[in-house]
């Protein structure tokens, strides 16, 4: 098993696991927040604007943790410094 293959395997599995596990928490958290927002609108239709605005800010905040995972996943696939270095060594 050459070094190039080893780093490639680690990058592939790392990227896949990173976004897969990283999507569980945000999806559940957003589901909870959205679910409560719908409940709040049903209770106080007059406050729908305030509720919707607070919901979207919160969703953006929660989504940010999923974005972190997506960013790391993309970095590992397309801008991986370890891969670049190992390729340079192998091609040297």
User: Binders of a second copy among 69-88, rule CB under 8 A?
Assistant: 69-70, 72-73, 75-78, 80-83, 85-87
Rounded to a whole number of angstroms, the minimum distance from the CB of residue 87 to a second copy is: 7
- What is the rounded CA–CA span in Å between residue 32 and residue 87? 45
Which residues, 29 to 58, sit near a second copy by CB under 8 A? 29-48, 50-52, 54-58
Rounded to a whole number of angstroms, the minimum distance from the CB of residue 7 to a second copy is: 5
- 47: CB partners within 8 A, 6+ apart: 40, 41
Residue 61: alpha-carbon gap to chain centroid: 12
Residue 67 phi/psi, 5-degree rounding, is -65, -40
Rounded to a whole number of angstroms, the minimum distance from the CB of residue 92 to a second copy is: 10
């Amino acid at each position: 098993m050459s070094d190039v293959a080893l780093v490639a395997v680690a990058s592939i599995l790392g990227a896949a696991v990173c976004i897969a596990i990283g999507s569980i928490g945000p999806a559940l958290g957003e589901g909870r927040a959205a679910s409560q927002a719908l409940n709040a609108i049903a209770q106080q239709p007059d406050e729908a604007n305030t509720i919707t605005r607070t919901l979207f800010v919160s969703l953006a905040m929660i989504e940010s943790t999923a974005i972190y995972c997506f960013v790391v996943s993309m970095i590992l696939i397309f801008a991986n410094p370890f891969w670049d270095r190992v390729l340079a060594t192998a091609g040297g």
